[in-house]
């Protein structure tokens, strides 16, 4: 039997493979012109993303927690969010929660965004005797994006809805309206059966 030893030809073969790979890496590295073009493209992409982000993130976060009475404030918000600024003039333009329930469910709907923020099953508890929640602590968000003619993007989750609770037969109906005027609005309608 032959002994297993390292052959000089194998060593030379490995060194040649390594040399070829290093040469290929050196030949294929980008030139300074290509690096400059890549950097310029990256800067343009960052600038575009920043412009899109600033357009998408209107300063709706600076909406007051009380209805607008000042016409200059209203004009300013009308410039930022368009006709939906009317909703800010209403008394419901506060971050309140509207609740309604039946024998099985207890629901809470946020005025800001008009979506369901909490759903609790009233007759059920988990193994630790804690109530069972289907939705809780921001685990659900409903949002509609509006693209306006002047390239603004409005998110319904950042606007204030006006709640109105009524009945339809035995059913409870909660109407959440994002008003543009007294007769024009976007409505989310929640109906809870008895």
Q: What are the φ/ψ torsions at residue 162 (nearest 5 degrees)?
A: -105, 120
DSSP label of 116: E
CB atoms closer than 10 angstroms to residue 167: 10
97 part of a folded domain: yes
> Into how many domains does the chain fold?
1
Interatomic CA distance for residues 116 and 42, integer angstroms: 40
Is residue 26 situated within a structural domain? no
Domain of 69 in residue numbering reads as: 63-192
pLDDT-based confidence at residue 2 (cuts at 50, 70, 90): low
User: Which pLDDT belongs to residue 180?
Assistant: 81
Render pLDDT for 57-113 as a digit per residue (tens, 0 to 9): 444 444 444 445 566 776 777 777 777 777 777 777 788 888 888 889 999 988 888
Between 51 and 172, the more confident residue is 172
Assigned domain for 170 exists? yes
The verdict on residue 42 lying in a domain is no
Q: DSSP secondary structure string, 121-185?
A: EEEEE-TTSPEEEEE-TT------EEE-TTS-EEEGGGSBPEEEEEEETTEEEEEEEEESSSS-E
Is residue 52 in a domain? no
Instruction: Specify if 162 maps to a domain.
Output: yes
The 10s digit of each residue's pLDDT in 98-120 is 888 888 999 998 888 888 889 99
pLDDT of 24: 93
pTM attached to this predicted model: 0.59
Sign of CA dihedral 94, 62, 153, 136: negative
> Residue 156: inside a domain, yes or no?
yes
Which pLDDT belongs to residue 154?
82
Task: Judge residue 13's burial from the number of C-beta atoms within 10 Å of its C-beta, 0-12 exposed, 13-18 middle, 19 or more buried.
Answer: exposed
Task: Check whether 1 has a pLDDT greater than 90.
Answer: no
In a domain, 55, yes or no: no
């Amino acid at each position: 039997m032959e002994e297993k030893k390292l052959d000089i030809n194998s060593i030379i073969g490995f060194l040649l493979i390594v040399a070829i790979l290093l040469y290929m890496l050196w030949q294929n590295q980008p030139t300074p012109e290509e690096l400059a073009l890549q950097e310029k493209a990256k800067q343009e992409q960052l600038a575009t993303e920043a412009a899109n982000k600033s357009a998408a993130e209107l300063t709706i976060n600076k909406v007051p927690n009380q209805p607008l009475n000042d016409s200059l404030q209203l004009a300013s918000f009308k410039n930022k969010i368009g006709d939906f600024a009317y909703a800010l003039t209403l008394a419901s333009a506060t971050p309140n929660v509207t609740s309604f329930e039946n024998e099985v469910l207890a629901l809470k709907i946020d005025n800001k965004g008009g979506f369901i923020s909490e759903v609790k099953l009233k007759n059920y508890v988990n193994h630790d005797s804690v109530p069972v929640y289907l939705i809780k602590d921001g685990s659900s968000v409903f949002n509609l994006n509006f693209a306006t003619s002047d390239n603004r993007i409005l998110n319904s989750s950042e606007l204030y809805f006006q709640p109105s609770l009524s009945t339809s037969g035995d059913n409870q109906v909660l109407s959440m309206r994002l008003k543009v005027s007294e007769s024009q609005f976007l409505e989310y309608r929640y109906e809870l059966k008895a």
